[in-house]
Amino acid sequence: MSRIGKKTVSIPAGVTATMEDGLVKVKGPKGELSTPMVDDLTYDLSDDGLQVKPANKTTRARAFWGMQRTLVQNLVDGVTEGFTQVLEINGVGYRAAVKGKVLNLQLGFSHDVDFDIPEGITIKTPDQTTIEISGIDRQQVGQVAAEIRRWRKPEPYKGKGIKYRGEYIFRKEGKKK
């Protein structure tokens, strides 16, 4: 039995959930999101929330059960609060700045890296070494953060590079004489 799948997704006030055309659509104060419904699962919308249950006893239905419930929960959380991912830049001369719809990164290359900010994502730079990525779609926020981090991953000797806030960088000892 899926412990996560058994829980009901509560729908707060001001948020509406509908199921139509094979999609679960959630609309709230920050916008509207949807995810496709899986054929092996049943979705029950009631006053206390949305319940996801396996339609049959197949392995595929049980495998999708908890994940699909979490995806629906992410839709509800996204349209109510949104999601934020924070990146930190470490290194001498490494910095970031937002210029219109472009994030400008100086990461020790011979050229600046210009990252186009996608639709639905807002990026702020409170200081030169911090990047805050926010939006209502959790997957999109994480994907944008991963694409920015890919330009200069943290290296294990000095820890220079772009890392997630709270990420532990395994450090190695340098060369000995």
Phi-psi region of 70 (alpha: psi -120 to 50; beta: other; left: phi over 0): alpha
Give the pLDDT confidence score for residue 132 in this predicted structure. Answer: 97
pTM value is 0.89
How many beta carbons lie within 10 A of that of residue 160, not counting itself? 19
Q: How does DSSP assign 79-127, residue by residue?
A: HHT-EEEEEEEESTT-EEEEETTEEEEE-SSSS-EEEEPPTTEEEE-SS
Which class is domain 83-164?
Answer: alpha beta
Measured between alpha carbons, how far is 102 from 131 in angstroms, rounded to an integer? 13
- How is residue 159 annotated by DSSP? -
Q: Which two tokens stand for residue 107?
A: 């990461």
One of 3.90.930.12, 3.40.980.10, 3.40.50.300, 3.30.565.10 is the CATH number of 3-80, namely 3.90.930.12
pLDDT in tens, 34-72: 999 988 999 999 888 999 999 999 999 999 999 999 999
Measured between alpha carbons, how far is 59 from 108 in angstroms, rounded to an integer? 49
Give the pLDDT confidence score for residue 35 in this predicted structure. Answer: 94
Give the pLDDT confidence score for residue 84 in this predicted structure. Answer: 97
- Domains 3-80 and 83-164 agree in fold: yes
Helices (H), the chain: 3-6, 59-80, 138-149
| Residue extents of the structural domains in the chain | 3-80, 83-164
Give the pLDDT confidence score for residue 48 in this predicted structure. Answer: 87
User: Cα-flanking dihedrals φ and ψ of residue 144, to 5°?
Assistant: -65, -40
Question: Pick from 84, 107, 80: which is nearest to 165 by CA?
Answer: 84
Give the pLDDT confidence score for residue 78 in this predicted structure. Answer: 95
Element (H, E) at 51: strand 49-54
Return the amino acid letter for 95: R
Given a cut of 50, the residues of the chain with pLDDT beneath it are none
Residue 138, classed as helix, strand or coil, is helix
Measured between alpha carbons, how far is 46 from 8 in angstroms, rounded to an integer? 10
Q: Which two tokens stand for residue 77?
A: 């959380």
Return the amino acid letter for 66: G
Give the pLDDT confidence score for residue 1 in this predicted structure. Answer: 61
Residue that the structure tokens 């772009």 belong to: 162
